[in-house]
Chain A
């Protein structure tokens, strides 16, 4: 299994190149791309299965001795995130096949999506802080290009803003790496964890941890750095919006979890109030931001910000219970929100609009798309048999158990706001009468939306298993000594 670790990085890389060579033949491009995504999902699932027993896997790139070279590492969290990424990106590519019309720059779409997948999966696998930066840049570079996909003025402006914001974050990431290297003399995550513990608490290390929190909060769209997200969701092509909401922001969250549990556990205890305040403002801002919106995609974007706040709140509790709730939330939100954004894209394909005022009567015009969205909205607002209810329930349970009554109370209040906006949105969209007729969409689009939406029900009914798995993940990541010992033994 150790030798399989580079596959999720190398496979998308070579597929991207091969697919680019096949750009003249659309049929072969599609076939190769989808086949590679299927293999990728199978590899991710086998990694998930292999890590289930608590074993960890390590692979030295270039066979350099332990703390110097780049190390790929896989534990339960990595396996979970890889499977999520493989499944969501796969569904989004299937969706895009139907969404893009014949001559819409397909020849660059497939290569870019594979390079993006390479960056995402590399970021989940790497055990090296500087290598994390490199994979972030691989991922972002293709995202910049995919964001300006149609080259219209809105997309150019949005892509420019997104690139500039992420350039600031990347520059600060490098500054953070130089702080870390000057103090600890290593960039290997496990080695860093040991060295930082030995150095003990000091102001410079606190500053370093804060720099990294800022950088990853930019990717995860937490409060002061969330401004890029609504435009990026609503203006980019739908399938990219779904990848953004489902996977890319989760990469930021994943990096925050790694920092808080493995690399900087002690400095993060001092930063806990900062993270809590960020999480709460994100929740409030996201919930209130939905109220004046007219576009279905923008409502979903603000709802994403709101939900990311909940996840960050779970992490900010810095306990196994909070981490369990956060992991559960990540898994259910990634699948749910990407299904909803694809559902919005399906509606756009059928009716040509995402403006709620122009919709109305979608339940009659497009029953399948509306049903998928209904499941999504019900889950988002926390109606019991669906997974959205349980993710909020476990979060509140963790908050109240740790005695954070005031903060958790605010979280309850904001979920009432989200209940309100979810229902008014769905009401405006689906009921009543609206003009116009719905067009048709390929079956593959329905299938990919239905595939992702079905997890809202599956995870809702199978909640004991998913919760048990989240507990296992949290039990492993909240004990960094396991990770360090496993890496020392393996290498």
Chain B
């Protein structure tokens, strides 16, 4: 199953990178969102155990910890998802305000600062 995760991560990064290189602000934001999803899937996969059980244990003494999926990366990824959600929302607000001011979401029309 780990190969399926690897392909998913690769696909998300590729799509995200393609979108980030577009000219429209909205596509750029979606691209970043996809790339952060790829990172999240990567964290989940770092706690992966082949054929592992769900890490819910009633009594610790009579189980083999090695046969369970590591729950810590899953806790970490929840935090990371919330953070990327907040940053994406903030970027959308910025893009909306840019659109209100210059009536376009073309990156090349926005560029005024240098260096």
Physical interaction between A and B: yes
Tell me the bound Cα distance from A159 to B87 in angstroms. 12
Q: How many Å lie between the Cα of A179 and that of B35 in the bound state? A: 16
In the assembled complex, the Cα of A329 lies from the Cα of B38 at a distance in Å of: 39
Contacting pair A154 B113 (CB below 8 A): yes
Does residue A289 face the partner (Cβ distance < 8 Å to B)? yes
Q: Whole-angstrom distance from the CB of A5 to the nearest CB of chain B? A: 21
Provide the residues of chain A in CB contact with B84, threshold 8 Å: 167, 170
CB proximity to A under 8 Å, residues B76-114: 76, 79-80, 83-84, 86-87, 90-91, 94-95, 97-98, 101-102, 110-113
User: A152: nearest residue on chain B (CB-CB)?
Assistant: B101
* 28 cross-chain CB contacts under 8 A: A141-B83, A144-B87, A144-B90, A151-B97, A153-B101, A153-B112, A154-B112, A156-B94, A157-B111, A160-B25, A160-B95, A160-B110, A161-B113, A164-B28, A167-B35, A167-B36, A167-B84, A167-B87, A170-B84, A171-B38, A177-B43, A177-B46, A179-B46, A181-B46, A182-B45, A182-B46, A185-B70, A230-B115
* In the assembled complex, A383 has its CB within 8 A of some CB on chain B: no
> Interface size bucket, A side?
35 or more
In whole angstroms, what is the CA distance A151 to B113 when docked?
A: 15
| A178 and B113 contacting across the interface, CB-CB below 8 Å | no
In the complex, are the beta carbons of A157 and B32 less than 8 A apart? no
Contact A163 B94 (CB under 8 A): yes
CB distance from A184 to the nearest CB of B (A): 10
- Taking the nearest CB of chain B, how far is it from the CB of A137, in angstroms? 5
Within 8 A of B (CB), among A126-148: 130, 133-134, 137, 141, 144-145, 148
Nearest-Cβ distance from residue A109 to partner chain B, whole angstroms: 17
Tell me whether A178 and B45 are in contact (CB under 8 A): yes
A163 x B113 contact (CB < 8 A): no
Q: A168 to B31: give the CA distance in the assembly, Å.
A: 11
Q: Which of A141, A145, A161, A164 gathers most chain B CB within 10 Å?
A: A164
Q: Chain B residues near A148: list those with CB within 8 A.
A: 94, 97
The prevalent SS among residues of A at the interface is helix
CB pair B43 A227 closer than 8 Å: no
Does B115 lie within 8 Å of A134, measured CB to CB?
A: no
Q: A157-B111, A177-B46 are in contact. List 12 more A-B contacts (CB 8 A).
A: A137-B83, A148-B94, A148-B97, A153-B101, A156-B94, A160-B91, A167-B36, A170-B87, A171-B32, A174-B42, A227-B115, A231-B113
Q: Are A156 and B97 in contact (CB under 8 A)?
A: yes
Nearest residue, chain B, Cβ from A234: B113
Whether B73 and A181, one on each chain, are in contact in the complex, defined by CB atoms closer than 8 angstroms, is yes
Question: CB of B47 within 8 A of chain A?
Answer: yes
A221 to chain B, nearest CB (A): 13
In Å, the complex CA distance between A156 and B111 comes to: 11
Considering the chains assembled together, what is the distance between the CA atoms of A143 and B90 in angstroms? 12
Q: How distant is the Cα of A167 from the Cα of B33 in the complex, in angstroms? A: 9
Residues of A within 8 A of B86 (CB): 141
User: Which single member of A154, A157, A182, A289 contacts B115 (CB below 8 Å)?
Assistant: A289
Residue of A nearest to B37 (CB): A171
Q: Are A178 and B43 also in contact (CB < 8 A) when A141-B86, A153-B102, A167-B87 are?
A: yes
Chain A residue nearest to B77 in the complex (CB): A174
Per the bound structure, the CA–CA distance linking A174 and B112 in Å amounts to 32
Give the chain A neighbours of B80 by CB distance below 8 A.
133, 174
- Between B45, B46, B95, the greatest number of chain A beta carbons within 10 A of the residue's beta carbon is seen for B46
How many angstroms from the CA of A15 to the CA of B79 in the assembled complex? Answer: 23
B113 touches A156 (CB 8 A): no
For residue B72, CB closer than 8 A to chain A, the reply is yes
Q: Is the CB of A170 within 8 A of B90?
A: no
Task: Look across to chain A and name the residue whose beta carbon is closest to the beta carbon of B83.
Answer: A137
Cβ contact of A160, chosen from B38, B70, B94, B101, cutoff 8 A: B94
How far is A126 from B97 in the complex, measured between Cα atoms in Å? 36
